[in-house]
Amino acid sequence: MGLIVQKFGGSSVANAERINHVADIIADTYKAGNNVIVVLSAQGDTTDDLIEKANRINPNASRREMDMLLSSGEQISIALCAMALEKRGLPVVSLLAWQIGLQTNNTHMDARIRKIAKERLQTELDKNNIIIVAGFQGVNAFGDVTTLGRGGSDTSAVALAAAFHANLCQIYTDVDGVYTADPRVVPNAKKLSEITYADMLELASQGAQVLHNRSVELAKKYHVNMEVVSSLKPVPGTKVKEVVKVEKTNIGGVAKMDNIVRFSLVGLADRPGVAFKVFSLLSRNNVNVDIILQSVGRDGSKDISFTCTMSGVEKARAVLEENRDAMGYDSIEIDYDVAKISLVGAGMMTHAGVAADMFEALYDGGINIQMIATSEIRISVLVKKDDANRAIKVVHDKFFGAES
Amino acid sequence: MGLIVQKFGGSSVANAERINHVADIIADTYKAGNNVIVVLSAQGDTTDDLIEKANRINPNASRREMDMLLSSGEQISIALCAMALEKRGLPVVSLLAWQIGLQTNNTHMDARIRKIAKERLQTELDKNNIIIVAGFQGVNAFGDVTTLGRGGSDTSAVALAAAFHANLCQIYTDVDGVYTADPRVVPNAKKLSEITYADMLELASQGAQVLHNRSVELAKKYHVNMEVVSSLKPVPGTKVKEVVKVEKTNIGGVAKMDNIVRFSLVGLADRPGVAFKVFSLLSRNNVNVDIILQSVGRDGSKDISFTCTMSGVEKARAVLEENRDAMGYDSIEIDYDVAKISLVGAGMMTHAGVAADMFEALYDGGINIQMIATSEIRISVLVKKDDANRAIKVVHDKFFGAES
C-alpha cells in the first residue's frame, strides 16, 4: 500500500463525536495496510476564542506571543484524536511541530516552511505507529513557535506528504470535492473528479474556499498527489494533479469573492507616472491591489479605480489620503457594494470566444459589468454584490449547462 | 537587586482582570530593578475541562497523551500574561518547557525534574527580558511532553530558583501566608512570618493546602528562600527557610485532612507476621497507609485498623478481599466518617507535655480520639468528621491562645 497523509480541519474535530468519526476514517486507512500521518487543525472555534481572549488583554500583542497562544489549539485536538485511536487499540503517537522539527522562517503568524527533520517521524513510521501531527505550527531558527497563517494546516499536510514522498495527501473537508461553482449558490454545479494544480490555484485565489492556494502551490512544486474529500460522506472526492484528462470545455469552474471593495481616485492630473505613483505607494504599504481600471475623466483629468480586499481598506485609504498632495486627485470614492466573479480554466484563453460567451451570459442576465480583468487561465468581472449569485448562475449555466 | 522567581496559580490567572493584576505585580518587581522569572499554571478550570474532554473520548487514555493534552493549558496563560506585560511597555518573552530544556524522567503525569538547560533562559536574562515560563510541564529524554503532577507549578518555580540561584522564590496564592490553622476554620489563627522547611513539609503533608510538599522538599534540598504571599493583598507573607527565630511554643500549626478513610480488619488470627502480610501486600499495590492501630479482639483474635486516602479505597478493598484466605480475617469494615488532625512543630517532641496538652484539649472539648500517630515533629489524631473543625479550634486555642 504506502504512506497516506490525511488532513482534517477544525469542524471535523469540533467535538467528541466528530473526533470519533475522524478516528474511524484513520483506523480504516491504517487497517487497509497503509502508514498514516494525520494533520489536524484546532477544534471548531478554538482559534477565534483564543484571539478574543488576547484582544481583551492586549489588542496589539506581539505576533510572537500570538503564535504562542494560537498554537495551543492544535495540541488539544491531536491529543484527543490520539486518545480516540488508542481506544480502538491502535498504536498512535501525537507530535507537535518542535517534536518533528518542522522549521519555518521567522515571519510570525504567516511563516513559511523551510524544512522538516526526518528522524522522529521516521522512527515512528518504522514502529508502524499512526502519527498525529499538529498542523498550522512550526518552529523558527531561534526556537520560537510560529504559525503558518491562513490555510496553514493544509500546507503542513502537503509539506509532510512532500517530505516523505507520500502516495497521497487527502484534505478532508465539509464538502465532498471541488465543484464547478459553489453548490450552495449554483445547485446544479458539478463535482470535478480531477482538476489541475493550475486551475485549482486560480480557483482558490479567486475565492473558492475549499483549498488554500499556498498548499496547492506547494503540492504543484513537489508533485504531491492531493485529493479533496468529504469527512462526512464516503464518496470519491476531487483529485488535484499535474495533468487531467481533457474535457470539452477546459473550464474548471466559477468562483466568487465578495470581501472586496472598489476604490476610485477621481480627477487625477492626466500626466505620465501618475498611475505608477499610486500603485507603487500602495504596494510599498502592503496593500494588494487586484483589478485596475483607468478611464478618462472630465476636463482632461483621469480616474483610476482598483479593487482590494476588505482587510486592506483602512490601510489603502490612509496611504492615499496622506499622499493626496503628491498625487493631486479631487476625491476618493470607496464602493463596498461589489463582488468579483471569476471563470477559471487552464488553456481557456486559447479557446476563442470564452470571454465573449461569458459577457453575453451576463448581458442576457441583465447584469452590469463594472470592471474586467483577465489572465491566461481566468476572466474576472466586477459586479454589484446583489448580482453576484445570479452572475455565477448564468455564467455557470453558459459553460456547464443548465441541467445537471 | 537580584533575581526573583514568582509563581502564580490557576485562580490568579483565571481571567483578563486577574491576569492584568498579576502583570502589575510582575511589572512592579521588574521596575524595582530585579530580573524576574515568572511561572504560571493553567487558567482556572482549564485542566479540569481538558480532563473531561479526554474522558468523553477515552477514559483510559495513555498517560503520554494526557500529558500532551494537559500541557496546553499553561501555554495559553503564559502567552496572555506576556501580552499583558507587552501592553505595559515591558520586554517580555514566554517560554515552554522544551524551549528552556526542562528535562524530566519518564513518569508521565507525575514526572520528576532532572535538570534545566541554562542557555535560553540565560540569554533572555542577559537581554533583561521578563521571562514567563509554563509551569507543570517538562520534556523527557525521548523528546515527549511530561507533566509534574500535583503541585507541579510550585515545583517548576523552586527548580528554576535553584538552577539560577534566585534570591527569592515567591509562591503567590489566594491566602496571604501560612497560618497556625486554616483561617476559614479557626478565625483567630495567626499568620506565621517564618516557618522552617521541616515544619512546612509536615504541614503540607498533613493537609495544609498552601504549598505542595514536593516543592518544599526541593527548596530544602537546594536552600531556596521561599515566600508564600498573597496575590490579592499587598501584605507580607510567610518566609520558608532553614532556620527561623525560635518562638516560645516551637509549634508551627494545626492541619486537617479529611479525604481519608479508616479500614478495620476484624478477627485476624493472632499469630506473628499477620500485620506484616497485610501491609506489605498494600504497599506492593501502591496503597499508602498512614495511621496504623492494632488491638486485641475477642477470642484471642486481633483487629488491625489503618487509614488511607480516599483515592486508595477501592484498590485497598480489592487487594484485601482477594487475599482474604491468606490473611484469614472475619470481616472488613470501612469508615468514611473520619478526619485527621495534626499538630506540627520542629523540635516539638523535645518539649515535654505537648502530646498530653493536645489530648487534654480534645478531652475538654468532648472529642473522642479514635487513633493516634506521632513522628518527631507531629502528633496526629483521628476523629469523627463532624468533630474535625471543633478539634482544630480547641487544639489551636490550647497552643496559640484563644484570643488573637
Verify whether the Cβ–Cβ distance B19 to A50 is below 8 Å.
Answer: no
Task: Please state, as a whole number, how many other Cβ atoms lie within 10 Å of the Cβ of residue B55.
Answer: 13
Q: What pLDDT sits at residue B248?
A: 52
Instruction: Write out residues 19-38 of A within 8 Å (CB-CB) of B.
Output: 19-20
Which residue is closest to B46 within chain A, CA to CA? Answer: A76
Confidence at residue A402, expressed as pLDDT on a 0 to 100 scale: 65
Q: Please say if the pLDDT value at position A353 is more than 70.
A: yes
At residue A142, the pLDDT reads 95
pLDDT, mean over chain B: 89
| C-beta atoms of A71 and B66 within 8 A | no
Contact A76 B66 (CB under 8 A): no
Question: Residue B291 and residue B270: Cα distance in Å, rounded?
Answer: 20
Q: Does A260 touch chain B (CB under 8 A)?
A: no
Residue in A with minimal Cα distance to B50: A76
Do B20 and A75 count as a contact with CB atoms less than 8 A apart? no
Give the phi and the psi of residue B329 in degrees, each rounded to 5. -105, 165
Whether residue A248 is predicted with pLDDT greater than 70 in this model: the reply is no
A232 pLDDT higher than 60: yes
Chain B residues whose CB is inside 8 A of the A54 CB are: 79-80, 83
% of residues, chain A, pLDDT over 70:
95
Of A76, A84, A99, the CB nearest to B143: A99
Mutate: best of B24, B50, B56, B65, partner A, most A CBs <10 A: B65
- Supply φ then ψ for residue A143, to 5 degrees: 80, 20
Please give the grid coordinates belonging to residue A224: 504531491
Separation in Å, CA of B343 to nearest CA in chain A: 43
- A68 contacts B72? CB cut-off 8 A: no
Interface of A with B in 323-352 (CB under 8 A): none
Select from B262, B284, B261, B274 the least CA-distant residue to B324. Answer: B274
Q: Between vectors from CA B197 to CA B194 and to CA B202, what angle results, nearest 5°? A: 105
Q: Is the pLDDT of residue A204 over 90?
A: no
User: B111-164: per-residue pLDDT in tens?
Assistant: 999 999 999 999 999 999 999 999 999 999 999 999 998 889 999 999 999 999
In the sheet that holds A137-139, the strands lie side by side as A113-116, A102-104, A137-139, A145-147
In this prediction, residues A352-377 reach a mean pLDDT of 84
Q: Which of B25, B275, B95, B246 is nearest to A145 (CA)?
A: B95
Q: Check residue A252 and give its pLDDT.
A: 80
Cα B275 from chain centroid? 30
Nearest by CB: B65 against A61, A83, A144:
A83
Is 0.95 exceeded by the ipTM?
Answer: no
Contact A86 B143 (CB under 8 A): no
% residues pLDDT > 70 (chain B): 95
- Chain A hits for B71, CB-CB cut-off 8 Å, are 75
Residue A79 Cα to chain centre, angstroms: 26
Nearest CA among B243, B252, B142 for reference residue B190 = B252
Q: Give the pLDDT score at B97.
A: 97
C-beta neighbour count of A109 within 10 angstroms: 16
Alpha carbon of B271: minimum distance to chain A alpha carbons (Å) = 47
Q: What's the pLDDT score for residue A403?
A: 53
- What does the alpha-carbon distance between residue B389 and residue A396 come to, in Å, rounded to a whole number? 78
What is the residue whose three cell numbers read 510570525? A108
Q: What is the largest CA-CA distance in chain B?
A: 79
Q: Looking at B67-71, B164-168, B224-228, B363-367, which range is the least confident one?
A: B363-367
State residue A290's pLDDT score: 83
- Give the confidence band of B404 by pLDDT, cuts at 50, 70, 90: very low
- Residue A95's identity, in one-letter code, is L
Using CA coordinates, name the residue in chain B closest to A42: B72
pLDDT at position B54 is 97
A185 has pLDDT over 90: no
Q: What is the pLDDT of residues B303-339, one digit of tens each?
A: 888 999 888 899 999 999 998 888 888 899 999 999 9
3-state SS, residue A285: coil
CB-CB contact of A130 with A112 (8 Å): no
CA B300 to each of CA B142, B263, B374: distance values in angstroms, whole numbers, following the listed order: 57, 20, 28
Q: Do B58 and A87 touch (CB under 8 A)?
A: yes
What CA–CA distance (Å, rounded) separates A81 from B219? 39
Contact residues on chain B for A16, CB-CB shorter than 8 A: 53, 56-57
Please answer whether residues A185 and A392 qualify as being in contact, where contact means their C-beta atoms are separated by less than 8 angstroms. yes
The two most distant CA atoms of chain A are separated, in Å, by 79
Amino acid at B326: A
Task: Name the grid cell of A107.
Answer: 515571519
Query: Residue B352 carries which side chain, given as an amino acid letter?
Result: A
| Count of CB atoms situated within 10 Å of the CB of B264 | 17
What mean pLDDT is reported for chain A? 90
Interface check B102 vs A, CB under 8 A: no
- The closest CB to that of B98, out of A50, A71, A98, belongs to A98
- What confidence category does residue A168 fall into, taking pLDDT thresholds of 50, 70 and 90? very high
Q: Does B291 touch chain A (CB under 8 A)?
A: no
Reported confidence tier of residue A404, pLDDT bands at 50, 70, 90:
very low
A50, A58, A83: residue with CB nearest B84: A58
Residue B352 pLDDT > 90: no
Compare all CA atoms of chain A with the CA of B16 and give the residue at the minimum distance. Answer: A57
Asked if A69 has any chain B CB less than 8 Å from its own CB, the reply is yes
